[in-house]
Amino acid sequence: MSEEKIVFCKGGGCTAKLGPAVLSHVLQKLPRPEDPNLLVGFGGCDDGAVYRLTDDLAIVQTLDFFPPMVEDPHLFGQIAAANALSDVYAMGGEVKTALNIVCFPETMDLNILGEILLGGSEKVREAGGVLAGGHSIADADVKYGLSVTGVIHPDRIWSNEGCQEGDVLILTKPLGVGLVCTADRMKAARPADLELAYRSMTTLNKYAAEILKKYRLHGCTDVTGFGFLAHLCEMVGERYTAVVEQKAIPFIPGCPDYVEEFYLTAAAQRNRNHVEKKLEFCNVSFAMEEILFDPQTSGGLLASVAAEDGPAVLEEIQRLGLPCGIVGKIQKRGEAAVVVQ
Amino acid sequence: MICLDKRGCPCPIPVVEAKKALESAEAGTWVEVLVDNAVAVQNLRKLAAHKGLAAEDEKRGEGEYAVRIQSAGPAAQTADPAAKTADSAARTADPAARTAEVNDGHGADGDGLPDDLDLESCQLPGGGEAATENPEGPAEPASSAVSGSPAELASLVEKGMVLVIGSDQMGQGDEKLGHMLMKSFVYAAAKQDRLPETILLFNGGARLSCEGSESLEDLREMEKAGCRILTCGTCLDFYGLKETLAVGEITNMYEIVETMTAARKLVRP
């Protein structure tokens, strides 16, 4: 038995995340760790944890795993791994080791698992890391991901929240992979859109991060399950207002049509519920709103860089071959955290 | 009123089904959709708001919500029906073609499960994954999408040729010789210019596709070239080999019979 069980009624990838509202509710009740060497923990909204070992060395730890969002197990392995590795890049780190996290039904064809793990290991190798083991659980559904450890200089951590007034915002991958995968589950995704979505999801954020390192970067996150707008709200916090130019948003071409057909996930609606109050939309179409709330699996980096560096960064990122753009700028705090115009 | 019970269906199924119903209903008809979570209610209200349709919802109990949306009729979906119809026909042409293609593929494989089964009769949470609970269940579609076998390799495969292996020995006589012969048979089969479309392994033949088999590499080579390798699940269970299956997929007697009866050429060692 192969394909059928990786055919997912339920919607995989980052659409399977717990809603941000539910999550923050639970996390608030946990005792906060007090260790001066824990430089980044879940106190803020950052992607991974950073722990200082010495004055010039810290480790970055992160993990991510989820159910399949595509039917090809090898492709799923690549996407899940690229997604898990991404958090290290979003912090400015360098990948060192990775461990597999596997949930797999006992009765399923093990060749499928083999394909998933092969895809994952390819991406770890591409990242320059070593796959060092893992843990597997017999479960009713397939889930896969990685626990990743990287290294970083303690003084050169890219915070989510470091953006500064006057910065421009650069998004390194197109939005809409959630919509395309949902359309695909309904057998309605166009091949060209699928191809772009697959290419985007399997592209490591390593390359974009390497480019960004050369410029004056103030804040960075990767766009994942909470969607572009929720991640952007986290970036600006209460301090600034991000003004997003809707015309500059890179997205997969078929997405407005998929929105019109209402191939919308529950996750996108949860994202909307979570941040809607912090947003102001000016003449934004319903389709663009949904694209901006769309949960991304293995999405791109969203970087806040000095305005003068913007064009040069964009030019280099464009050469990576995915739709990208300077999507907005950081301004003095207004009423809303994010204005889309 | 048209009623759709979409409890147990994850988004976007309730909203997509509601949209379809609204588009085919007469103007003024109410479409009631039952769903089991508040986010689905919001997605349905979003549909109504976007289409400018009247809507109401109520919570009927724990995990039960009803959303009613009033259809504006098929013609009212746009100001310019002719243009819109052409446009939406163009948009759906591709998916329709795809669906037809998928269904054809299934038909040929004797797969009783339509691909969109889960859209029609959604699994309730926790009750899903029929295949997990019933590994001997309905046959799988051809694994071409999964293995992504390239077209140029597929040309090696002779459509309708089925290789049937019911033992791990070839011929009757000395057991050791029988094993050796079977090993070289599979090896030689893998080196042929024409490969079978499907290889059926059952009874002692089931051992060939499991860990420890000396024929694994040859079978994998054929699978890579586009052969479907199907091993009888009952046999794997019987010999306690289920965990060690190392190539191809598990099958059941229905698929074995269907494959054999539909074959143009049956080959046995």
Scanning B170-199 for CB atoms below 8 A from A yields none
- CA–CA dist B203, B164 (Å, integer): 11
Over the stretch B241-268, which tens digit does the pLDDT of each residue have?
988 999 998 888 888 998 999 888 999 9
pLDDT recorded at residue A13: 60
Choosing from B50, B76, B102, the residue where a domain stops is B76
From A9, A14, A163, A255, the catalytic residue: A14
A6 within 8 A of A73, measured Cβ to Cβ: yes
Alpha helices (H) in A129-285, listed in sequence order: 177-185, 191-202, 206-212, 227-236, 255-260, 266-275
Among A3, A75, A106, A258, the residue to mutate for chain B (most B Cβ within 10 A): A3
Residue B47 maps to a domain: yes
pLDDT band at A47 (very low <50, low <70, confident <90, very high): low
Residue B181: pLDDT over 50: yes
Residue B260 maps to a domain: yes
pLDDT recorded at residue A1: 36
Decide: pTM greater than 0.90: no
Residues A135 and A266 in one domain: no
Residue of A nearest to B93 (CA): A188
CATH code at position A255: 3.90.650.10
Nearest-CB residue to A2 (from B94, B95, B140): B140
Count of domains observed in chain A: 2
Residues A172 and A146 in one domain: no
CATH code at position A103: 3.30.1330.10
Residues B144 and B257 in one domain: yes
Q: Do B11 and A264 touch (CB under 8 A)?
A: yes
Q: Do B42 and A273 touch (CB under 8 A)?
A: yes
pLDDT recorded at residue A27: 74
Residue A148 maps to a domain: yes
Residues A72 and A127 in one domain: yes
Residues B66 and B147 in one domain: no
Type and span of the H or E element at B231: strand B228-232
Residues B250 and B151 in one domain: yes
Residue B119: pLDDT over 80: no
Residues B246 and B149 in one domain: yes
> Is B243 within 8 Å of chain A by CB?
yes
Scanning B26-45 for CB atoms below 8 A from A yields 37, 39-40, 42-43
> Is B143 within 8 Å of chain A by CB?
yes
Q: Do B40 and A266 touch (CB under 8 A)?
A: yes
Interface A-B, measured as beta-carbon pairs within 8 A, has a size of 118
Per the DSSP assignment, residues forming a β-bridge with B231 are B201, B250
Q: Do B148 and A72 touch (CB under 8 A)?
A: yes
Choosing from B76, B96, B120, the residue where a domain stops is B76
- CA–CA dist A239, A162 (Å, integer): 10
pLDDT recorded at residue A115: 94
Per the DSSP assignment, residues forming a β-bridge with B55 are B69
Residue B172: pLDDT over 60: yes
Residue of A nearest to B42 (CA): A269
- In this predicted structure, which of A30-34, A226-230, B8-12, B24-28 has the lowest mean pLDDT? A30-34
Over the stretch A201-221, which tens digit does the pLDDT of each residue have?
999 999 999 999 999 999 999
Residue A180 maps to a domain: yes
Residues A135 and A231 in one domain: no
Give the dihedral of Cα atoms B93, B97, B103, B106; nearest 10 deg: -150
Residue A151: pLDDT over 90: yes
Residue A161 maps to a domain: no
Nearest-CB residue to A1 (from B99, B247, B249): B249
Residues B261 and B144 in one domain: yes
Q: Do the strands B55-61 and B64-70 form a parallel or antiparallel pair, or are they unpaired?
A: antiparallel
Residues A93 and A191 in one domain: no
pLDDT recorded at residue A321: 93
Count of domains observed in chain B: 2
Choosing from A99, A121, A152, the residue where a domain stops is A152
Mean of pLDDT over chain A: 90
Q: Do B132 and A270 touch (CB under 8 A)?
A: no
Residue B97 maps to a domain: no
Residue A318 maps to a domain: yes
Residues A183 and A323 in one domain: yes
> Is B68 within 8 Å of chain A by CB?
no
**In chain B, what residues touch A265 (CB-CB under 8 Å)?**
11-12
ipTM of the complex: 0.75
Mean pLDDT for B190-213 is 92
Residues B64 and B147 in one domain: no
**In chain B, what residues touch A269 (CB-CB under 8 Å)?**
11, 39, 42-43, 46
Tokens of A143: 């889930």
Residues A264 and A322 in one domain: yes
pLDDT recorded at residue A44: 53
Is A255 part of the annotated catalytic residue set? no
Tokens of A11: 């919607």
pLDDT band at A37 (very low <50, low <70, confident <90, very high): very high
Residues B63 and B166 in one domain: no
Mean of pLDDT over chain B: 75
CATH code at position B177: 3.40.1260.10
Distance of CA A231 to the CA centre of its chain: 9
Tokens of A265: 């996930």
Distance in Å, alpha carbon of B119 to nearest chain A alpha carbon? 8
Choosing from A104, A122, A152, the residue where a domain stops is A152
Residue B196 maps to a domain: yes
Q: Do B129 and A140 touch (CB under 8 A)?
A: yes
Residue B212 maps to a domain: yes
Over the stretch A108-147, which tens digit does the pLDDT of each residue have?
888 899 999 999 999 999 999 999 999 989 888 899 999 9
Residue B127 maps to a domain: no
Residue of A nearest to B100 (CA): A187
Choosing from B54, B76, B98, the residue where a domain stops is B76
Scanning B122-141 for CB atoms below 8 A from A yields 122-123, 128-129, 131-132, 135, 137, 140-141
> Is B113 within 8 Å of chain A by CB?
yes
**In chain A, what residues touch B91 (CB-CB under 8 Å)?**
257, 261
CATH code at position B72: 3.30.110.40
Residues A189 and A148 in one domain: no
**In chain A, what residues touch B113 (CB-CB under 8 Å)?**
4
pLDDT recorded at residue B8: 86
Q: Do B99 and A109 touch (CB under 8 A)?
A: no
Residues A131 and A178 in one domain: no
CB count in 10 Å sphere of residue B262: 13
> Is A143 within 8 Å of chain B by CB?
no
In Å, the largest CA–CA distance within chain A is: 57
**In chain B, what residues touch A4 (CB-CB under 8 Å)?**
113, 131, 140-141
Where in the sequence is the domain holding B237, given as residue range(s)? 140-267
Where in the sequence is the domain holding A73, given as residue range(s)? 3-152
Residue A184 maps to a domain: yes
Residue B87 maps to a domain: no
Over the stretch A78-116, which tens digit does the pLDDT of each residue have?
999 999 999 999 999 999 999 999 999 988 888 899 999
Residues A181 and A109 in one domain: no
Q: Do B102 and A187 touch (CB under 8 A)?
A: yes
- CA–CA dist B41, B182 (Å, integer): 60
Residues B148 and B257 in one domain: yes
Q: Which residues make Cβ contacts (< 8 Å) with residue A100, sequence separation at least 6? A: A117, A120, A131, A133, A134, A135, A136, A144, A146
Residue B191 maps to a domain: yes
> Is B12 within 8 Å of chain A by CB?
yes
Over the stretch A228-253, which tens digit does the pLDDT of each residue have?
999 999 999 999 999 999 999 999 99
Type and span of the H or E element at B255: helix B253-262
Q: Do the strands B157-165 and B64-70 form a parallel or antiparallel pair, or are they unpaired?
A: unpaired
Residues A297 and A181 in one domain: yes
Q: Nearest Cα to B185, choosing from B202, B201, B165?
A: B165
Residues A147 and A188 in one domain: no
% of chain B residues with pLDDT over 90 = 41
